[in-house]
Amino acid sequence: MSDRFPVWVSVTRDDGRVEQVRVGSAVKTGEGFTIAFDSMTIGSSPMSAAPRAAAPARAASGTTASRPPPPGGGDGLLLPNYGRSKGMPVSGASVQDLEFYANGARRTLADPGKARWHDKEKQLLAAIEAEIARQRGEEPPPPSDDGIPPPGDEDAPF
């Protein structure tokens, strides 16, 4: 298993579309991560650097910084590791891609031989359906109250 992970940011376009843009990669170092950013430009010319506020750099020491939840549905969940949007956040993915992954989750849930993954697939499907509803301007489906607690740090794949 690789200890290198893609780093994405959500970019909101003028027309309201949210697009995921890869900005670099993170490498696992001890208890934390070191992030290497790719060269970035916006539009036709590079942006000038904005003044930075002093902030402690703790990513490599293992201390996690708090961050706001991603916009829209998804709760920070990532799409499965297959298909053209593999590993991207649920939030901001195209409706076409979301429907593709939702169908995969439904197939897994319909297969009793894959019961060991059903809890994870239910969470993923709920996040995908909420993001589809958000993008279409609809009311998101009510969360299922099946007694399963939300995922925590111990559920992280690394």
**pLDDT the model gives residue 145:** 58
Number of domains in the chain: 2
- The set of long-range contacts for 91-98, using a CB threshold of 8 Å and a minimum separation of 24, is 91/10, 91/18, 91/131, 92/10, 92/18, 92/19, 92/20, 92/131, 93/20, 93/131, 95/132, 95/135, 95/136, 98/128, 98/131, 98/132, 98/135
CA–CA distance from 16 to each of 12, 75, 114, 135 (Å)?
Answer: 6, 20, 38, 10
**pLDDT the model gives residue 100:** 93
Average pLDDT over the chain, rounded to an integer: 74
Here the tokens at position 122 are: 């239910």
User: Using CA atoms, how far apart are residues 60 and 56, in angstroms rounded to an integer?
Assistant: 11
Q: Is residue 58 part of a domain?
A: no
Shared domain for 76 and 25, answered yes or no, is no
Q: Is residue 98 part of a domain?
A: yes
**pLDDT the model gives residue 51:** 46
Shared domain for 33 and 80, answered yes or no, is no
Give the pLDDT confidence of 31-84 residue by residue, as tens digits: 788 888 877 766 654 445 444 444 444 444 444 444 444 444 445 688 888 888
Shared domain for 7 and 75, answered yes or no, is no
Answer yes or no: are the C-beta atoms of 78 and 92 closer than 8 Å: no
Give the pLDDT confidence of 115-128 residue by residue, as tens digits: 898 989 999 998 89
**pLDDT the model gives residue 59:** 44
Please say if the pLDDT value at position 157 is more than 70.
no
Domain housing 92: 69-145
Q: Is residue 62 part of a domain?
A: no
**pLDDT the model gives residue 18:** 80
Q: Is residue 51 part of a domain?
A: no
**pLDDT the model gives residue 14:** 77
Give the pLDDT confidence of 103-154 residue by residue, as tens digits: 999 999 999 899 898 989 999 998 898 888 888 887 766 666 565 666 666 6
Shared domain for 21 and 83, answered yes or no, is no
Mean pLDDT on 3-18? 80
Shared domain for 74 and 141, answered yes or no, is yes
User: Using CA atoms, how far apart are residues 9 and 48, in angstroms rounded to an integer?
Assistant: 19
Give me the helices (H) in the chain, please: 95-110, 118-136
